[in-house]
Chains A and B, each alone.
Chain A
Amino acid sequence: MKQLLIIALCLLLTPLVAAVGCDLNDPDGDIRRLFPESTGYKTSYRSIQREGGRALLNTIENRLGDRFSGLYETIDNPYTIYDVFSGTRKIGVIHGVNQKGRTGGIQIFLALDNNGIIKKLYLQRISSRNNRLYRAESFTNQFIGLKLEDFDRWNVARATGTGKVAAIRNPVANDPDFAAIMRGIKKNLILMKHFSQ
């Protein structure tokens, strides 16, 4: 009896425990900063589990070129999506992901227009001693105008690529957090492609 009840409680509580999403710390301020013309936003939550399950996870992993692993890359991980509006017109979307870095988790937010093109890259959290270099506009502005198709030419496992993405300069030579950020951005773009369908 006790075991049954414990199992039932665990099942009830599992979604809460597993819910390790990536939200903006200050949505009102952050959204105004990322989309200065915005007048409002709507928040929604998605998960791979709900949108397509194991088949979708396989599709995402194949396009990413790497397997999902760890606490923040589970099939039921909730993803917060901020649909941004100017009046009644949707002008874009903001979405963040957690990505393992060398000094802990990195929180990578992308502000995308309605065509999935990057308008801004925002690293909400990066604990590296080089965090200022990665958060500097000289680094983040390199991603403006890029889209998922550009990242298809980036191999996340080898951290090498061709085309526009290969031209992005690593602000810290040989620092593994650069590869982590690139992987996080590609993951973010792939997820957004599927969540916006």
Chain B
Amino acid sequence: MISITKIASKSLLRKRLRSILTLLGIAISSWVLISLLGFNQGYERSLDDDIDNLGFQVLLTAKGCPYEAATLMLQGGAGLRYMPDTVIDSLRSMPEVQNLTPMLMQAVFDPMVGENGTVVAYSGVDPATFPKMKSYLQFEKGTWFSDPTATEAVIGYEAAELEQREVGDLILVPEKNVELTIVGILKRSGTQDDGTIFVPYLALQSIFEVQGKLTSVGIQVGKDVDVTAFEDKLYELPDVQVVSMAQVKSTISNLVGTARVMVMSIALIAILIAMVGVVNTILMSVFERYQEIGIMKSMGATAGHIFRLIWTETVVLCLIGGLLGAAMAYGLAAVTESLIRYLLPYSPKGSLVYIDGMLMLKSIGIIIGIGVVSGLYPAWRAARIKPIEAIKKSEGEL
């Protein structure tokens, strides 16, 4: 005996073009849904990775705007305000502080870079503490500075490649007329460090005549430390601002929050459109098969059989459409990612669209769920068809 699934498949194949168009609608909606859910997942992961790569949980900066501080940490750039380096002694006396590293950002206009010159930033770091915090940094060639006050530089992979710099080459600090000797080139890390020029902060203080000044201090706290309470304690220090990684994450999440709400709304609209399309297709199918359904009923098919038949057609359409959409989302993830990266105000370095098996299963589940709901009404209407009336008329009124 022929099964209900086979009858449903045959019915769908009878009107191929309409079935394919409906499938495409469902597939595109599924693609949008899975891509956006993958974006939500990937963005969080990449942001976490970016923040982990900073190597510290709390950043202490001179008092200023929190967005400036967040930018300083994630994008690099010149510190806008200074704090005295005596703050290090105060921090070292705090039991919550596990490790700390003083930092000094400086920037200078280099007329030789680009068409009209550009601002080149130098990141002053402490060779004794900074490498421990950035344990992921590895050397392509060379090593860290020979001395905490040496006029030496360690440069990121891209900074070296673009300028064809090698260990032993020099970097001229424009305006200051000081040459830094390159002692190390880092391996590509996929972070902002790839384009950074690291210099011992004491040397940078001397070059830029800002002795005794810092722009920030990176702090690693103990695992059992209450970071919120520790932040409050840090605010007791004069003229400082505390930026925790949780704050940075929250600030960036807020920045992109509006964009995320918008894209999720678009996804919802796409799903609603697909649902209406499915209902319309199945209703049309029932409408055209009005007489056929009547004959089936007169031959012994029950209302339950008809209901299941129409419902199965809907679910089959949604299942195939969902699978197709999942394949599209997975295959076109790179394209989706570049589009999102173009639109967002800030995007972390890692993969922005992360689609795994679980996400695809969940999304296909949602699409099938939509199919189940969308099929209810047409199936119910089909089940209510009266056989005598249906056989008399070639087409029904639904």
Residues in chain A within 8 A of chain B (CB atoms): 1-2, 4-6, 9, 25-26, 70-72, 98, 100, 102-105, 125-129, 131
- B332 near A5: Cβ-Cβ < 8 Å: yes
A26 CA to B116 CA, complexed, in Å? 9
Most buried by A among B116, B174, B179: B179
Contact: B169 with A102, CB < 8 Å? yes
Given A1-B331, A103-B172, check contact A71 B162 (CB 8 Å): yes
12 contacts between A and B (CB under 8 A): A5-B332, A9-B335, A70-B164, A71-B161, A102-B169, A102-B170, A103-B170, A103-B179, A126-B112, A127-B112, A129-B177, A129-B179
Q: A129-B172, A129-B179 are in contact. Are A9 and B334 (CB under 8 A)?
A: yes
Bound Cα distance A104, B197 (Å): 13
Q: In the complex the two chains form, is B172's CB within 8 Å of A2's CB? A: no
B179-A104 in contact (CB<8A): no
Interface residues on B, range: 20 to 34
Which chain B residues have a beta carbon within 8 Å of chain A's beta carbons?
110, 112, 115-116, 161-165, 169-172, 174, 177, 179, 327, 330-335
**CB pair B164 A103 closer than 8 Å:** no
Min CB distance, A31 to chain B, in Å? Answer: 15
Smallest Cβ-Cβ distance to B159: which chain A residue: A104
B115 to A, closest residue via Cβ: A25
Complex Cα gap A103–B112 (Å): 11
Note all chain B residues with C-beta closer than 8 A to A104: 112, 163-165, 169, 171
Chain A residues with Cβ below 8 Å from B163 are 104-105
In the complex with contacts A102-B169, A127-B112, A5-B334 CB distance below 8 A: yes
B169's partner among A2, A6, A9, A103 (CB-CB below 8 A) is A103
In the assembled complex, the Cα of A7 lies from the Cα of B398 at a distance in Å of 51
CB nearest to B327 among chain A residues = A1
A26→B327 CA distance, assembly (Å): 49
Given A125-B112, A129-B177: A5 and B165 within 8 A (CB)? no
Question: CB-nearest residue of chain B relative to A70?
Answer: B164
The 8 Å CB contact of A2, one of B116, B162, B331, is B331
Bound-complex Cα distance A70 to B334 (A): 28
**B115, B170, B179, B333 pick with most chain A CB within 10 angstroms:** B170
Known: A71-B162, A129-B179. A2 touches B330 (CB 8 A): yes
A63 to chain B, nearest CB (A): 22
* A131→B179 CA distance, assembly (Å): 13
Q: Which residue of the partner chain, among A1, A105, A126, contacts B164 with CB atoms under 8 Å?
A: A105
Contact between chains at A6 and B334 (CB < 8 Å): yes
- Tell me, in angstroms, the Cα distance from A4 to B333 when the chains sit together: 12
